Amino acid sequence: MFTLLNKEIKAFFGSLIGYLVLIVFLSTLGLFMWIFPGELNILDSGYSHIDTLFYIAPWVFMFLIPAITMRSFADEKKAGTIELLLTRPLTDMQIIFAKYTAGVVLVLFALLPTFIYFNSVYDLGNPIGNIDTGGTWGSYIGLLFLAGAFVSIGIFSSSLTENQLVAFIIAVFICFFMYVGFEYLSTMPFFANADSIVIQLGINEHYASMSRGVIDTRDVIYFFSLNALFLSLTQLVLKSRKW
């Protein structure tokens, strides 16, 4: 399993798209946080925080993570190596989990440079260090949970097709719907009596809670359940090839 994990990470950094994805992610965050004027600009806000990072990152992740995961199974199918992979002395879930872990590790690589932004705000504070460090770490944990959910969605989408572009589009759509779709559904008259329940089905409600630095057991269970759902669906898709 670790061999497959290592292969996935090397394949990502062995291609130009890997570096482009990371550059676009960090550049987009940097522009909103430091360059573009407005309330999202840290210097304009006058407060020591990096809330902009946790507001913008989920929207960037909707495109970044599908770009990372789109080749996971789609490329194997197109190259005809999926059958060889499935005959290895690994269970389907071990293969899926190796690709899922590789996706999460790559997201971690993308997030590590953002600590430069945190350190910059820390030093710019008046006095130095005037930033809610505990809340910031809680927000990072929430962002990691969200990223993990998006990775599981991306892996599932990639298992549905051998076309990477199609896998990317499917993943973006599902990520978008899971993030804000349930909020829109909750405003429909049909769900008037169950709007709070419908909202709880969406990612944004739980991510927003964790972004406040509050790690609630219900939010953790939600993200673990969402990961388990899409990874199980991926396993089902792989097993369907044998039917």
d(CA 180, CA 195) in angstroms, rounded, equals: 13
Structure tokens at 227: 């990961």
The pLDDT tens digits of the residues spanning 63-118 come to 989 988 888 888 878 777 776 776 777 788 888 898 899 889 888 888 888 888 88
| pLDDT tens, residue by residue, 118-152 | 888 877 767 776 677 777 888 889 899 999 999 99
Q: Which amino acid is at 156?
A: F
Q: What is d(CA 94, CA 220) in angstroms, rounded to the nearest whole number?
A: 23
pLDDT at 157 over 90: yes
The pLDDT score that the predictor gives to residue 46 is 65
pLDDT tops 90 at residue 214 = no
- Mean predicted lDDT score pLDDT of the chain: 83
DSSP 3-state assignment of 132?
coil
For 225-236, write each residue's pLDDT tens digit: 999 999 999 999
- How far is 99 from 77, CA to CA, in rounded Å? 14
What would you measure as the largest C-alpha separation in the chain, in angstroms? Answer: 65
For the chain, the first-to-last Cα distance in angstroms comes to 25
The pLDDT value given to residue 127? 73
pTM: 0.90
Q: What is the reported pLDDT for 168? A: 94
**pLDDT, tens digit (0-9, with 9 covering 90-100), for 36-55:** 887 777 777 767 677 888 88
Q: How confident is the model over 197-210, as pLDDT tens digits? A: 888 889 988 898 88
**Averaged pLDDT, 179-196:** 79
More confident residue, 129 or 158: 158
pLDDT confidence tier of residue 242, bands split at 50, 70 and 90: low
pLDDT computed for residue 189 by the predictor: 75
Confidence at residue 154, expressed as pLDDT on a 0 to 100 scale: 95
Distance CA 25, CA 23 (A): 5
Residue 62 clears pLDDT 60, i.e. is over it: yes
Q: Are 191 and 185 in contact (CB under 8 A)?
A: yes
Helix pair 133-159, 92-111: axis angle to 10 deg: 140
pLDDT at 14 over 60: yes
